[in-house]
Amino acid sequence: MPKKISVNEPIFDDSEVNIAQTILDSGLLSSSNMYGGKYVKTFEKQLSKLLDCKYAVAVNSGTSALYASLLSLGIKSGDEVIVPSFSFTATASAVIATGATPVFVDISSSNYNIDISLIKSHISKNTKAIIPVHLYGHPVDIEQLSEITSSNNIPIIEDGAQSLGSSIDGKKCGTLGDLGCTSLYPTKIITSGEGGVITTNDDELYNQLLMIRNHGLDKSGQTIRFGLNLRMPELEAALASIQLSKLDDFVNFSYNKIFRNFSRNSFFYDAKISFSGLNKVFSDEINKLYPFGSGNPEPVFLFENLKISKVKVLDKKHITNLFTSKNGFSIQAISFNSINESIGKYLLNYKKEINVIGYLNNNFWNNKKILQLVVRDIII
C-alpha cells in the first residue's frame, strides 16, 4: 500500500492542556466585546507583531476569515471575484456566500498556484477582488500579481490558510495584499481546533471587520451594518496563542518531515560533488540487489569517480542550497540509503574519488525543479 504523508498533524503538550483547564475553571469562555476577550486580544497582538502588520482580527474559522474579508470590501451580488481553479472549496464558497460569482483561473504547472499570466484575460468590469491561494505554504508572486491588480484597482485577499510562517522576498504571507486570511484548522501549521485570522494594514477595513464578526455592532452597541457571530472563543484564542509561540519549531519540524518521508532509512546531506562519468546500469541484477519499490521509474546509474566534499547533515538552514556538478545536474540533496548516519563522517574525511550506484529523483523545491541524488551503494 502506498505510504500516505499527511498535510500536517497537531502537536500539543502540557502548555495547551494547562491553559485549557485555566479557562474552563474561570468560566470566561467567550466575550461579546467588540475587541474580543482577554485571550483574543493577546493572540491578535501577538500575530500582528510577528507578521509586522497593524491589525489582526480573530474569527471562528478560515472560511469566516475569507467571508468577512469579502464583506469588508463590499463584495455583493453581481460582482466577480477571481480565484484559482485548484484550492479547497472554501475559497470559492466564501465568494458565493456574498452573492458574488467566483471566476476560476487555471494554475501554473510549476507550483500549482494561480497562473498569473492568465489573469488579465479573466478580468471584467465586474471584477471586484482576487483571492490568490498560497497553496501548501508556497507563496504566490504577489509583486507580479500587483502589477495587474493595481492598474485595474482590484483588491487582493490572500488565502494563506496553509502559509503561516512562509515568506517571499523577505515579505511575510498575510501582509502581501490588502487582506490576509489564515486558518487554524488541525491540518494547518498551528491549530486551535477551529479558527481563523484576518490581517490588514488598512484602518477602515479593520473597523469593518470588527463589526462584521460581531453582529454588525459598533462601539456604542448599535447594529449599523450586516454582520454575524464570527467571534473566536477564548479557549481557541488561548490555544492559538501558545501554538503561535511554537511556530518556528513547527516550521522546522515540517521541513525535516518532508525530507525524512522520502525514506525512513535515509540521511540527507548538503555536499559538493563532481564526477567524471555517468552510465545507466539499471538491470535485473541491480534491481535485485537494490530494490527501489514497485513502480519506481527512476533508472539506476553508475557515477564514475564521484567526489563528495564539504558534507553537512541537511537541516533547515541548508535545504534551499543548490549546487551543480560539472556534468550539469542541479543537485539539492544527497541521500544515502541502507547506510547509517556515520557515512557522513566517513565521507567528510575520505579524499579519494569513488564510484557509487544510485538514481536521480526529480522533485520540486522553492519553485525550482531539482534532482535529488539517492545513493544506494559505494564502490571503493
- What pLDDT score was predicted for residue 111? 84
- What pLDDT score was predicted for residue 333? 43
Per-residue HEC secondary structure of the chain comes to CCCCCCCCCCCCCHHHHHHHHHHHHHCCCCCCCCCCCHHHHHHHHHHHHHHCCCEEEEECCHHHHHHHHHHHCCCCCCCEEEEECCCCCHHHHHHHHCCCEEEEECECCCCCCECHHHCHHHCCCCEEEECCECHHHCCCCHHHHHHHHHHCCCCEEEECCCCCCCEECCEECCCCCCEEEEECCCCCCCCCCCCEEEEECCHHHHHHHHHHCECCECCCCCECCCCCECECCHHHHHHHHHHHHCHHHHHHHHHHHHHHCCCCCCEEEEEEEECCEEEECCCHHHHHHCCCCCCCCCCEEEEEEEEEEEEEECCCCCCCCCEECCCCCEEEEEEECCCCCCHHHHHHHCCCCEEEEEEEEEEEECCEEEEEEEEEEEEC
What domains can you pick out in the chain, each with its CATH number?
14-254 (3.40.640.10), 262-379 (no CATH)
Write down the pTM of the prediction. Answer: 0.70
- What pLDDT score was predicted for residue 86? 96
Tens-place pLDDT, residues 44-80: 999 999 999 999 999 999 999 999 999 999 999 999 9
- What pLDDT score was predicted for residue 181? 98
- Low-confidence stretches of the chain (pLDDT < 70) are 1-6, 252-380
- What pLDDT score was predicted for residue 3? 58
Tens-place pLDDT, residues 104-160: 999 998 889 999 999 999 999 999 999 999 998 889 999 999 999 999 999 999 999
